[in-house]
Amino acid sequence: MPKPSEQPRQHESHPEETEEELREHQAMPEEPYSDRSVNQNESTIMNKVVQVKQEPIESDEEEDEQREQLEQRKRQAEQQQELLFRQQALLLEQQRIHQLRNYQASMEAAGIPVSYSGHRPLSRAQSSPASATFPISVQEPPSKPQFTTGLVYDTLMLKHHCTCGNTNSHPEHAGRIQSIWSRLQETGLRSKCECIRGRKASLEELQVVHSEQHALLYGTNPLNRQKLDSKKLLGSVTPMFVMLPCGGLGVDSDTIWNEIHSSSAARLAVGCVIELVFKVATKELKNGFAVVRPPGHHAEESTPMGFCYFNSVAIATKLLQQRLNVSKILIVDWDVHHGNGTQQAFYSDPNVLYISLHRYDDGNFFPGSGAPDEVGTGAGIGFNLNMAWTGGLDPPMGDAEYLTAFRTVVMPIANEFSPDMVLVSSGFDAVEGHPAPLGGYKVSAKCFGYLTKQLMGLAGGRVVLALEGGHDLTAICDASEACVSALLGNELEPFTQEVLQQRPNPNAVRSIENVIEIQSKYWKSLQRFSSTVGYSLIEAQKCDKEEADTVTAMASLSMGVKQGSNAEKRPDDEPMEEEPPM
């Protein structure tokens, strides 16, 4: 029991409390209800238990009665101790909530609003005695997921931000995924999906694509990094980072690095994609959309770049091959920038077909890779396809151009490849609203919903989209809404007649024809579409209908000729009918 002059002891920290919470807790004023009163009550109770009057034993009945009274007092003491334990748990939970509110206030002061509605990454277990006494509700996942569209998201990814605190100077910021998640909730789409729990990817999982040194450098924080073998890190990691104009730290001129939070956020983004992809591959979920950051498709084996540290889609693909023996995987990358990291990871793999639609401009648009003649190497020749747009923004590519590329190149080859699983590096920076340096194209958000719907016709509908780039908040929210709606099987908003009648611009036609000429050596299905590249969607549909009618007419004519031939032969070939016996 503490002496009156002693300070009340501090409670032990919960293992899930972060360093920020502990620091805030130490700075907190004492609550009205302190542990001192708890200890005093405990002492009083224990004294009651110990100070049992010892009477001389006169008979067995009296002895039994005394034993029963003693046991009853013990039970009462245990009940009171249980009550005290619950009160202590209540106090700890109140303190934890106070800490989280302080953390929320500090984040909002830094320009990063935080919401814990329905999602508490730093929560006490639901089995906690105090958990039922608070208004904060936690939706526990059902024992068996519904067979529907899956979503994955985690607020820990919001902590990856530049130490300068100015999100305006960094297009890849926490508000991107927070806005998308809020939009999905506001529109009611989130409630129709199965929200799954993400996790951090292990260092071993990262190394299926990245080198060991890369995984250690960017997958660990400074505290853990000090414990690693210095030989693995090949010396100090300080030269790997640069000072940015904003005053923060980065791995290159535009890719920020936060020594405390970036490694955890990057590994969590990978782990979220892995979890969702595996649940779809094993048919626990129908399809899915991963609302994750930082993006990944630029990250190469040993090089972070373009806001990317670990290639989430590439890692998930490798693990599908290794753990589930998935035979053929299609990766479609419709981010406006070429996915150089993904191309590098599968350039010689004939079991992974990588198709990228990106602004190329003869190598003058970031990252400069993704030329049409980059088709793979060794056994992987023909399994790397770059739908490289050339011609700048005169005019910018839009719905007509992307729909034509899907009609004449992407879907014919995808159907011929016949994948067992489809992963999409779903960057939305081709959506209208992005300035020229970040894209400059004019594709509508609804168009990406239609592209998603077309991909759902492959691999038995096993399609997973993982967020990559896209920095205009309205654009990426609209596009995410359209894609999730398509994944759910909802009816999509129709295109206007103007879009249906619009022919692709001349630069787009030349770009598509160039790709068809190169790739037709490897894919027979491209030949029949080479003559209709310049058609509008309505003209192409009319052409397809006429072709189908011609095929049907030819088939009918063939059948008619065959039947006529059989009719002419019948009189000679058939025996005469015999008269029935009398």
Q: What is the pLDDT of residues 36-48, one digit of tens each?
A: 343 444 444 334 4
Distance CA 423, CA 425 (A): 7
Residue 288 sits at φ, ψ, to 5 deg, of -170, 165
Residue 311 sits at φ, ψ, to 5 deg, of -85, 90
**Is there a domain that residue 465 lies in?**
yes
Domain count across the chain: 1
Report strand pairing: 149-152 vs 194-196: parallel
DSSP string, 1-38: ---TTSPPPPPPPPTT--HHHHHHHHTSPPPSS-HHHH
* The length of the chain, given as a count of residues: 582
Asked if 25 contacts 68 with a C-beta cutoff of 8 angstroms, the reply is no
Asked if 461 contacts 495 with a C-beta cutoff of 8 angstroms, the reply is no
DSSP string, 466-505: EE-----HHHHHHHHHHHHHHHTTPPPPPPPHHHHHPPPP
Residue 82 C-alpha from the chain's centroid: 43
Q: Is the peptide bond before 239 cis (omega within 30 degrees of 0)?
A: no
Buried b (16+ CB within 10 A) or exposed e, 458-467: bbeebbbbbb
**Is there a domain that residue 248 lies in?**
no
Distance CA 213, CA 304 (A): 12
**Is there a domain that residue 410 lies in?**
yes
Catalytic center residues: 298
Task: Give the pLDDT score at 145.
Answer: 63
Distance CA 104, CA 112 (A): 9
Task: Give the pLDDT score at 144.
Answer: 58
- CATH number, domain with residue 509: 3.40.800.20
DSSP run (H or E) holding 101: helix 60-109
Contacts of 230 (CB under 8 A, 6+ apart): none
**Is there a domain that residue 255 lies in?**
no
270-302 pLDDT, tens digit per residue, is 999 999 999 999 999 999 999 999 999 999 999
**Residue whose C-alpha is closest to residue 437's, from 359, 332, 516:** 359
Task: Give the pLDDT score at 143.
Answer: 52
**Is there a domain that residue 298 lies in?**
yes
Cα–Cα separations (whole angstroms), residue 1 to 36, 78, 278: 8, 19, 54
DSSP run (H or E) holding 357: strand 352-359
**Is there a domain that residue 279 lies in?**
yes
Distance CA 396, CA 410 (A): 20
Task: Give the pLDDT score at 98.
Answer: 62
Cα–Cα separations (whole angstroms), residue 321 to 274, 314, 329: 12, 11, 9
**Is there a domain that residue 404 lies in?**
yes
**Is there a domain that residue 440 lies in?**
yes
Distance CA 401, CA 442 (A): 10
Query: 């009163």: which residue's tokens?
Result: 37
pLDDT tens digits, the chain, 582 residues: what are they? 444 444 443 333 333 334 444 444 444 444 433 343 434 444 443 344 334 334 444 455 666 677 778 878 878 877 877 777 677 667 666 666 666 666 565 555 555 555 544 443 433 333 333 333 334 444 555 455 678 999 999 999 999 999 888 888 899 999 999 999 999 999 999 999 999 999 999 999 999 999 999 999 999 887 776 666 555 555 544 447 888 888 888 898 889 898 889 999 999 999 999 999 999 999 999 999 999 999 999 999 999 999 999 999 999 999 999 999 999 999 999 999 999 999 999 999 999 999 999 999 999 999 999 999 999 999 999 999 999 999 999 999 999 999 999 999 999 999 999 999 999 999 999 999 999 999 999 999 999 999 999 999 999 999 999 999 999 999 999 999 999 999 999 999 999 999 999 999 999 999 999 999 999 999 999 999 999 999 999 999 998 888 777 767 767 666 665 555 555 555 444 444 444 444
Distance CA 320, CA 278 (A): 7
Residue 228 C-alpha from the chain's centroid: 30
**Residue whose C-alpha is closest to residue 257's, from 276, 275, 237:** 237
Give this prediction's pTM.
0.72
* Residue-number span of the structural domain to which 349 is assigned: 149-158+170-196+269-539
Distance CA 107, CA 146 (A): 35
Residue 481 exposed, middle or buried by CB count within 10 Å (0-12, 13-18, 19+): buried
